[in-house]
Structure 1
Amino acid sequence: MKRLIGWIVLGLVATLGVTAPAVPLPVELPGGKANWVVSVGGLHDAADNNYANWTRLGWYIFAADGTVRTNYWMWKELDEPERVTSMTASCGGDVPKCPVQTMGSFLTGPTGVFQGTYQTSDGKVDVTWTKDGAGQALTPALTEHWLLDPIPGGKVARISSDGYHSTVAGPVVVPSTFSSYSASFGIGYGSNAPLSAGNKVSITDIRTTYGQDEFVGTFVRANKGTVGREGAGLWAAGFNQATTFDQWRSCPSGKCVGFREKTKDGCFCEKFPNPRDRIRYLADAPPARNNIYTYWCECLAQGAACYQANNHVQSLLQIIDDDRKFQGWVGVETSTSVDSRSLKPNHDFGSAYWAVLNMVTPDLRGPQPGKP
């Protein structure tokens, strides 16, 4: 009887011309991955945007119904965001005990939100942001066109903007193919590992378990009025290899490591030629996959123990693959130019560094600047 009633209902629907509601077909996740850490930048020559550069760092979460959401931190060069101390690195040896600086907003959860839709096809991912976090329409909508790159092993996938990867170092022509708005460069990695803090690798584990790896990548930066590309890297030649570098040293808290890089050529200070060592720190930060990376040339400290003026400040998010293994970072640099005495912004926008970067294991790198 129930089956007969069902057939009668279907017959009535057909007779009356009523169409059953369509069920959305599943959309292919980019590379089969739902959770991504992504760095995006609006980096342009000063002649084109008068130093209105910006960076955005966060995560993209793709759903099978064709929707996508990003939670992000954002920094604008013209706002001149100031450095704050996240902790004091006490690493011992010849590594100076100094503040590890970052952006204050990076020590709390991201406040920016976009919501939108996406499509995948033929090695590409098109993302359209249509709403903000409150559900208000973005007018106009913001569109991004990503290249989806295969990664050996299938444990992680990569998206990048056209023109991000290249073997050519030095000045670049800013591409106009990436977005419908001012975003010009981007890099991201995705897996199906949750984005929660429980899937974050500690600084101690990075040093001990992954210290043999050299994490390198691409650094696309706006500085001195132009946009350029160069290599990015961390760990030099690794922790446990015989090199000309001292090894990275751990802080007693386990929350940071420090490194005095002894180099004759890499650190140049015109007015203060000696010494030329570079000081580097990598530190933990809340809330989820956040890490902090800072470095500075010792000669700029002019004999002081620490340098807090125009050190390089980078905010990083860890890349974790499907097996919960650490594979490197995506990040941004937001180094405001400040007065060396007051440590306050000096409005010298040309001397600031605004950048998009990745530092990853060999399989994740893509073409490297200066390397065939």
Structure 2
Amino acid sequence: MRALLASTVAALVALPAVPAAAVAAAAPAGMYRFVVAIGGLKTTSRENWVRLATYSLTADGKAYDSHFHWSQRVRVNRSYTGVSGGDCGVRACQVQTANGFQATSSPKQLSGTYTVTGSVLRITWTGNGWEEWTVSEPIAGQLAKLTYRGSSFGATHGYGYGSNATWSNRASMAEIAAFDHTRLKHDYHLWKTDAGTPYLDEGAGNPFWKTGWQRCTSGRCLGGATTGTDYYLSTANATSTDRRDTIWHWRRELADGRGEHCYTGNSHVKPMLQIIDNAGGFHGWVAVEASLNQTSPSQGTSADDIGVFELSEF
């Protein structure tokens, strides 16, 4: 009997080890694709930055970021999108956006891992620190929301939403024009100056001040005006089919004062990413403002407007 037991144990020890099965990571509210606006904004700094990103998560706990980045440390001029506004209540001008946003793809990438503990999503970027968000579900089974908690790399504010819709799933300009924009709340954290003194312009819950949009001759642009100001909402360039949109606005008196039909001074440029749910429904944007001073050397960064915001239903 002892000989039989010994031979059985020896046989078990000799068996090759069986690798443990890969454990699927718990995706935030079951969602794997997120649009995120995040930034580091402090009144004590003139090196503030913002980032507009897509996060792609995988079932094995990996995280991939693709983003555009703007900082007060890098002085860049605005860029043209190749999209023109015309016959939509504004001057016929080619839309401008923050430098680089009109490119065919985002220039920066990160990779790392993620975990979800309770309602907290933690992403650790390889060589770039960690960030944490609280996860909620404004539409159960259709859309997740990320509320910013903190980071190790200097971010102070952020907005995020996620679903499993593909990155090419977006609302057309016709759909956006038909949407009731009074349903979108405007939450924002923007670094500005008053007589050269920095402050954060912050608010929550108010609709964006431009709600009525008209379709332009171009199928890629909407336009509208308030007293003295022209607003444009367009895709990031003339060919993109992803989630990118941009808002551009400026006061007509400033253009007239420079003898210009289309303003080339310090206009407001606001890159945005559409919030799309699993069923393809449109719910607004996460966005940044990256209006860096390009025309007032004497003012330097004091003429910058930079920050993060959302125009969303939630």
Indicate conservation of the 8 Å contact 2:88/2:217, yes or no: no
Cα distance in structure 2, aligned partners of 1:233 and 1:78: 31
TM-score by length of 1: 0.73
User: Post-superposition shift, 1:71?
Assistant: 0.8
Question: Which of 245, 266, 283 lines up with 1:310 in the alignment?
Answer: 266
Aligned match of 2:148? 161
Give the C-alpha shift of residue 121 in structure 1.
1.5
Choose 104-113 or 87-96, whichever is displaced more: 87-96
Partner of 2:3: none
- SS of structure 1 residue aligned to 2:67: strand
Ranges in structure 1 where 5+ consecutive residues have no aligned partner: 1-9, 131-137, 163-177, 240-247, 263-276, 365-372
In structure 2, the residue matched to 1:200 is 170
Query: How far is the alpha carbon of 1:207 from its aligned partner?
Result: 0.9
From 194, 203, 209, give the equivalent of 1:230.
Answer: 203
Aligned to 2:291: 335
- Shifted more, 55-64 versus 284-293: the winner is 284-293
Residues 88 and 224, structure 2, Cα contact 8 Å, conserved in 1? no
Gaps of 5+ in 2: 1-7
In 2, Cα distance between equivalents of 1:312 and 1:19: 62
SS of residue in 1 equivalent to 2:265: coil
* Structure-2 change in CA distance of 1:20 and 1:329 (3 Å): same
Identity %: 28
1:183 to 155, 158, 170: 155
Distance 1:161 1:55 in 2: 14
Hey, what does 1:289 align to over in structure 2? Answer: 243
4+ residue segments displaced more than 4 Å: 10-13, 16-19, 231-235
Q: Offset of 1:98 from its aligned partner?
A: 2.2
Farther off after superposition, 292-301 or 142-151:
292-301
In 2, distance between residues paired with 1:13 and 1:75?
A: 63
Aligned to 2:123: 127
Structure number with higher strand proportion? 2
* 1:279–1:297 CA contact under 8 A, matched in 2: yes
Could you tell me whether the CA contact under 8 Å between 1:88 and 1:97 is conserved in 2? no
1:301 corresponding residue in structure 2: 255
Separation of aligned partners in 1, 2:49 and 2:155: 8
Query: How far apart, in 2, do the equivalents of 1:253 and 1:93 lie?
Result: 10
Which AA in structure 1 matches 2:115? Q
Counterpart amino acid of residue 326 in structure 1: F
Please give the per-residue CA displacement for 1:92-143, whole angstroms capped at 9, x wherever unaligned: 265222231112411120121111111111211011001xxxxxxx2xx411
- The amino acid of 2:224's aligned partner reads F
Q: Cα gap change, 1:62/1:94 in structure 2, threshold over 3 Å: closer, same or farther?
A: closer
Query: How many angstroms does 1:27 deviate by?
Result: 1.4
- Return the offset for 1:18: 6.0
Q: 2:307 aligns with which of 313, 337, 355?
A: 355
Distance in 2 (CA, whole Å) between partners of 1:223 and 1:213 is: 26
Contact 2:266 2:292 in 1 (8 A): yes
Distance 1:13 1:193, change over 3 A: farther
Aligned to 1:370: none
- Distance in 1, matches of 2:143 and 2:25, equals 19
1:1-372 matches, within 5 Å, as 14-16=12-14, 19-45=17-43, 47=44, 49=45, 51-87=46-82, 89-92=84-87, 94-108=89-103, 109-130=105-126, 138=127, 141-162=128-149, 178-195=150-167, 197=168, 199-208=169-178, 210-211=179-180, 213-224=182-193, 225-231=198-204, 233-234=207-208, 236-237=210-211, 239=212, 248-262=213-227, 277-285=228-236, 286=240, 288-303=242-257, 304-339=260-295, 348-361=300-313, 364=314
What is the CA deviation profile of residues 147-206 of structure 1, one whole-angstrom value per residue up to 9, with x for unaligned ones? 1123134311111213xxxxxxxxxxxxxxx111111111110001011x2x12211221
* Residues 266 and 291, structure 2, Cα contact 8 Å, conserved in 1: yes
Cα distance 1:88–1:123, how it changes in 2: closer, same or farther (>3 A)? Answer: closer
